[in-house]
Structures are given as structure tokens and as C-alpha cells.
Structure 1
Amino acid sequence: MKKLKDFEINIAKLSNKKHEYEFELDDSFFDLFAKDIILGGKLLAKVELDKAETLLTFHFDIKGTVRLTCDRSLDEFDHPVDVQEVFRIKFGPENAELDDDLWQITEGTQSINIAQHLYDFIGLSLPMKKLHPRFVEETDENEDDDQDILIYSSKQAGDDDNSDDNDDDDIDPRWSALRNLN
């Protein structure tokens, strides 16, 4: 059983150079988080930490599959995941989230837990509409047909595409006077 402590990196003892870590993310990892989106999975996360004097740069490379629930049939299926992300942490006077991919921590911080970052990167890589692979081909065929169907148009039935540009008869005379101003 994995614990959050398994994903801590002790940055205080690291020298200023590149360090590499590997984490196996399986069902016990996903048990640490709410199971509303990702039910489980089997992934390998390679994390490269480039430590400098005032900046920590994490390069995440996560590959594998996660188990999701289909939005249409409620069947479980495996979805491939391939994520490459960069996350930076700089040292400063206080702990703060400066941007989505930039945090600030104090100089005295001993370790950083990257479990939440791993989970977030995986979750953000998932599609909004989670469909079992047997429905994906069916949806692709329907989308090709839908491109030819016109849902709404503001033009009248007899209007041409070019008639709006050259037709001065339908313009309010107050607006046509403004065309003469240059």
C-alpha cells in the first residue's frame, strides 16, 4: 500500500545538479485520492529534478493507462496516458502559489511531496468526454456527417454571401452619411 510519504523528495540534502526519480503509480496510488474520475491505473512516472541555487525545475514524464468509467455506457475501460509537464519552485520569503506551474517556498523547506502534482497532471490529460473505445469510432463517424448540416443562419433565404458587402439600399441613411467621412 502506497502512502503519501512515498512521494516526498528531500530537497535539503540534494546538491545543485540534476536528479532522477521513478515512481510506479498503481491502484494503491489512486486510492490516496478521491475516486470520482480515475478508478485506478498502471503508470510509470519519471521525474527529473534540476536543482539550482534559487530554483527547482521538475520535468514530469508519465506514461501508462488509467481505468475510467464511460460516460455513455458506465462500463470501465483503460485509457492511455502520455504526459510531459514542467513544474517550477523558487525560493522566497513565504509559501505561495505564484502561477499554475510556479510555486514559491521558503528557504527552510526540507522536502516536497509531488503526489498531488502527479495526480493533477494525469487528471488534466484526460478528455472531458470519457467514451469507451467502442463508441469513439461511432462518434467520429457522426461528427463527419454533422459538419454538413446547417443548424442556424441569420441570412434570409434569398440572400447571397456578397450582397451584404455591396448592397447600399438597405442601409439606414443616417449611417450611409458616415461612409463619406474619411
Structure 2
Amino acid sequence: MKKDSQYDLNIARLADKTHHFAFELDRAFFEQFDQQLIPDGKVHADVTLTKTERLLTLDFDLQGTVRQICDRSLDEYDQEVEAHEQLLVRFGDRVEELDDNVLQITPDTQTLPIAQHLFDYIGLALPMKKLHPRFQNEPDENPEADAKLIFTTRQEGDEDDDNNDDIDPRWNALRNLN
């Protein structure tokens, strides 16, 4: 990814209160990343940053469309995306990612880059199966796709466990614990 300060939040100058930022993510934004998942798009990102003495809370609201390639027909289409994510940034002795949505930065950090987070949240909002809108209302070719899997340890032909004499006697002792 290329370094673009347009998507860096200058947190050193911010007062301890709530701040609002808006970003328009277009082709230039997606071209910064060395990837083929999202070649183009028009996404509006509202970022609400709540700064306190020990913690930054960033709420991301993303809405728009991104260009995708249909898995079935290889036609390009516009996929609507909507995402609402939260990122917590705490202050500590070193910079590290503690969890998917929890970062730790040093207190002397001047700027917080959010471009990668914006891209990741858009990528997570995409469906696993990318289908052109003309295919989305068609029934699945596999009728068993919606069937539920039921797990059982008993195989067909097995008799009731109470009548089975091949059971280890230790299990019988456990049955009497009721």
C-alpha cells in the first residue's frame, strides 16, 4: 500500500471530545492497495472519533457501491456495501494490534492511519459468493443446499443402548449417577 496522508487522522491536535470525519473513497483509494478484490468503487465513509485521555473510539459507517466480477458469468457489476464497524485504540508502551478491532499505540503517536481499516471493513462487507443481480433471485441448482445436517452417533441398525451388552462396564457405572 502506498502511503497517503489524506487518510491519516492527526490525533495529537484533537481535544478530548467527539470529532467527525468524512471520506469519499473512489478508484484512486482502491488503487493504493496491491489487490484485485476491489478494482473500483464509490463509498462514502463517516468516521466518528471519540477521544478520551486513555482511549480512542472510532465508529465507521460505510455506504456505497464497489465494482465486482460475478463468480458465475465473469461480468462486472456494482455491489452495494454497507458496514458499521468500531475500532478501539488504546495507549500503551508499544505499537501493536491486540485484536481485530483493538489497537495499541504509544502516547506520543501523532497520526493514526485509517486507510487500511477502511479497505478491510469494505472487504468484510462483501458477500462470499459474488453474483450479478440477474442471478441473485434464481433458485440454487443444488436443492440440498438448504438442508440441515443432523449429527448422531447412532448408526442405522443399532439397537437401543439399554439392550446392548457390549458396553464397557465403566459406562454402566456412570449411568447410575442420576
Give your verdict on TM over 0.5.
yes
Alpha-carbon distance, 1:168 to partner: 3.7
Alpha-carbon distance, 1:113 to partner: 1.1
Look up the SS of the partner of 1:122 in the other structure: helix
CA–CA distance in structure 2, aligned partners of residues 174 and 65 of structure 1: 61
Alignment of 1:30-49 (within 5 A): 30-49=30-49
C-alpha contact 1:25 1:45 (8 A) present in aligned 2: yes
Structure 1: which 5+ residue stretches go unaligned?
A: none
Partner of 1:125: 125
Cα distance change, pair 15–171 in 1 and its aligned pair in 2 (3 A): same
Q: Which has the higher helix share?
A: 1
CA–CA distance in structure 2, aligned partners of residues 142 and 170 of structure 1: 43
Cα distance change, pair 155–90 in 1 and its aligned pair in 2 (3 A): same
Letter of the 1:86 partner, please give it.
Answer: Q
Partner of 1:11: 11
TM-score by length of 2: 0.84
CA–CA distance in structure 2, aligned partners of residues 71 and 169 of structure 1: 53
1:178 to 166, 172, 177: 172
Look up the SS of the partner of 1:134 in the other structure: coil
Look up the SS of the partner of 1:30 in the other structure: helix
Alpha-carbon distance, 1:169 to partner: 3.8
C-alpha contact 1:3 1:29 (8 A) present in aligned 2: no
Aligned residues: 172
Alignment of 1:49-60 (within 5 A): 49-60=49-60
Cα distance change, pair 3–155 in 1 and its aligned pair in 2 (3 A): same
Partner of 1:104: 104
Look up the SS of the partner of 1:133 in the other structure: coil
Partner of 1:83: 83
Structure 2: which 5+ residue stretches go unaligned?
A: none
Cα distance change, pair 175–74 in 1 and its aligned pair in 2 (3 A): farther
Moved more, 114-123 or 93-102: 93-102
Cα distance change, pair 23–172 in 1 and its aligned pair in 2 (3 A): same
CA–CA distance in structure 1, aligned partners of residues 55 and 20 of structure 2: 16
Letter of the 2:106 partner, please give it.
Answer: T
C-alpha contact 1:30 1:38 (8 A) present in aligned 2: yes
Letter of the 1:108 partner, please give it.
Answer: D
- Which whole-Å deviations, capped at 9, do the CAs of 1:45-66 have from their partners, x for residues lacking one? 0000001111110000000001
- Superposition RMSD in Å: 2.8
Partner of 1:22: 22
